[in-house]
Amino acid sequence: MDLPDNIIKKYGSGVTIDLFVTPNADKCLFPAGFNKWRKRIEIKVCSNAKDNNANLEVIMVIAEFFNKQVKDVYILSGMKTREKTVLIEDISEKTASRRLRESLNGL
């Protein structure tokens, strides 16, 4: 699957990824697809948005997907919206892009 170049951006020693979050899903799924209108990678989490639960689950799911520790993943923007930008520390743009493209090809 072709992703627009600006979805994954180099940021310091890591990358940022633009996400569109669906809370209260039946199961967690990342990547769950690409939303071409919002130009964001989709992620589904089981938690609701109340009390920061969905944000915490987004961080955990992203960390697991990229084989990173939870402390290496941050939400840079969108704490109170479904459109979020996350930072993943210590990963190259090339590695993150390859990993996402491989997973999205099956969708």
> What is the DSSP track for 39-107?
TEEEEE-SS-SGGGHHHHHHHHHHHHHTT--GGGEEEEE-TTSSEEEEEESS--HHHHHHHHHHHHHT-
* Cα–Cα dist 26/11, whole Å: 32
pLDDT digits (tens, 9 = 90+) for 35-57: 989 999 999 999 998 999 999 99
* % the chain with pLDDT above 90: 82
The predicted pLDDT at position 7 comes to 83
pLDDT band at 83 (very low <50, low <70, confident <90, very high): very high
Q: Which residues pair with 48 in a beta bridge?
A: none
The predicted pLDDT at position 59 comes to 97
- Asked whether the beta carbons of 76 and 58 are under 8 A apart, the reply is no
Q: Is the pLDDT of residue 1 over 60?
A: no
- Asked whether the beta carbons of 21 and 82 are under 8 A apart, the reply is yes
| CATH pick for 8-105 out of 3.40.50.300, 3.30.1200.10, 3.30.1050.10, 3.40.190.10 | 3.30.1200.10
Q: How does the average pLDDT of the chain come out, rounded?
A: 92
The predicted pLDDT at position 94 comes to 92
pLDDT band at 2 (very low <50, low <70, confident <90, very high): low
* % the chain with pLDDT above 70: 94
